[in-house]
Amino acid sequence: MSSHERIPVRISDQELARRWSALRALMKAHAVDAAIVQATNDWLGGNVKWLTDIPANNGYPRTVLFYADDLMTVVEMGVFDGRRTLRGEDPIHRGVGTILTTPSFPSIDYTVRYDADLALADLRAHGVRRVGLANGTGFLAGFSQVLRDGLGNFEIVDITEELDVLKAIKSDEEQDLIRRAAALQDDVFSHVCSVIRPGLRDIDVTSAAQMKAQQLGSEQGIFLGASARVGVRSPFMGRHFQGRTLAQGDHLSLLIEVNGPGGFFCEIARTLVLGKASAELLEGFAAVRAAQEHTLSWLKPGVKASDIAAAHDDFMTGRGLPPEIRLYAHSQGYDMVERPLIRRDETMTIAAGMHLAVHPGYETESIFAVICDNYLVGADGPGPCLHRTEKKVFELQ
C-alpha cells in the first residue's frame, strides 16, 4: 500500500527537507548534536508534526530525537522493547531511521519514565554530548525529570526560541495548505447555516459542523458554541456544556477551530441568530470588527507583538470597552496556538510569512461580541482575509 493511500494530504519531501535543513543550521550554530521534541496531541503538538508530518494523538507521547548527522529516532507507544529499523526508507515515516516503542501512558504514573529511558539509550548510542531541547517545559513531567537526570553528563541547550521563529515563517507550500484550511472552515460554517434550526441542541449543531469538517479533510480541532436567548450572552463553550435546546429568536456564538488538509489550523467565529439580532448585538459586533481592522493596520513586518497588544488595549478602552486580559490574536500553524502571541509578554516581532488569527471580543451579561478570521502577513502587512465568510451577524429566518 502506498503512502498516498494512507495519508490523504501529506507535506512534500521538498518541504520536509527545507525544515530539516533549517533546524540543522540552527543546531550547528549552537554546536548541538541532537534536538529533542515531544507532543501528546495534535492541537498543541506542532513540533513533532513539523519534523515528521505525523501528529501525536489522544494523549499518547510521541518523542522525536533529531540528530545533526543522522536520521531521526522516534519514541512512541507500542510493545515493550519494540524496535523498527527503517533506515530512512519508509515512505510514511520519512527521515526516520528507527522507531522505538514502549507501552507508556500519562495516566499511569510509573510508565512515563519508559519513554525517557529509551531516548537516553538512543542518545548514548549516537555518542551525543550536547542536546537541544525545544519547548522542554511542555514535555511530560515524568519524562522530563528522568531525561534531565540521565543527561547529567550532557550539555543542555534551550533552542525553543529559535525553533519557534522557524515555524512562524510559513513557506509557500504551507501557506497554500493554510488557505485550504480557511476555505474548509468557510464551507463548514455555510453548512451550519443550512442546518441550524429551533429544536436542535447546541451539541447537534457542533456535531453537524464536525462531521462536515471531517468529510472535507479535517482531522482535529474544536467547535465551541453555546446558545442563549437574545439579551443573554452566548459564550464559547465546549461539548460538555452544549446541552441547551435552541428556540426561535435565540442566538449562538460559534467558533470553528479545526485543521485542514495537511494539518494546518485556522479559526473562524461568527454569531448566528434564529431571527432578528438586537441593536446591542449588532453594535457589539461592529465594535469588535473595528478592533480587528485596527489590529490589522498594525500587523506589519518589524512591529513588536507587544506594541500591537498595547495599541489594541488603547483602542478598546478609548471606546469604553475592556482591555484584553487573555489572548485576542496569535499565530497558527500545526499548533492551534503558536508564537507570536499578540500579547504584552511576547518578545517576537511580526515578519512577512507569518499567519495569524485575529479575534478581538468582549462580553457583558447581555452580549458576547466576537469576530475571528485569519491573515497571512506580506512585505507590507496583512493580505486579504483568508476566510470568505461575510463579516456580519448572521440573521437566519
pLDDT (tens digit per residue) in 195-240: 999 999 999 999 999 999 999 999 999 999 999 999 999 999 999 9
pLDDT of 320 > 80? The answer is yes
Alpha-carbon span 157 to 338, nearest angstrom: 21
Query: pTM for the full model?
Result: 0.95
CATH class of 172-395: alpha beta
pLDDT (0 to 100) of residue 1: 45
Q: Does residue 343 contact residue 331 with C-beta atoms inside 8 Å? A: no
What are the C-alpha distances in Å from 19 to residues 61, 133, 242? 22, 17, 40
CA atoms within 13 A on the CB side of 245: 4
Q: What is the DSSP string of 75-122?
A: EEESSTTEEEE-TT--SSSTTEEEEEEE---TTSGGGTHHHHHHHHHH
Peptide bond preceding 382: is omega within 30 degrees of 0, i.e. cis?
Answer: no
Give the per-residue pLDDT at 6: 81
The pLDDT of residue 204: 97
What pLDDT band is residue 2 in, cutting at 50, 70 and 90? low
Residue 242 has pLDDT above 70, yes or no: yes
Count of alpha carbons within 13 Å of 136, Cβ hemisphere only?
18
Region 303-331: mean pLDDT is 97
**Domain range list for the chain:** 3-168, 172-395
Can you give the pLDDT at residue 7? 85
What's the CATH fold of domain 3-168? Creatine Amidinohydrolase; Chain A, domain 1 (3.40.350)
Average pLDDT score, the chain? 96
CA dihedral defined by 118, 119, 124, 129, rounded to 10 degrees? Answer: -160
Q: 137-173, pLDDT tens digit by residue? A: 999 999 999 999 999 889 999 999 999 999 999 999 9
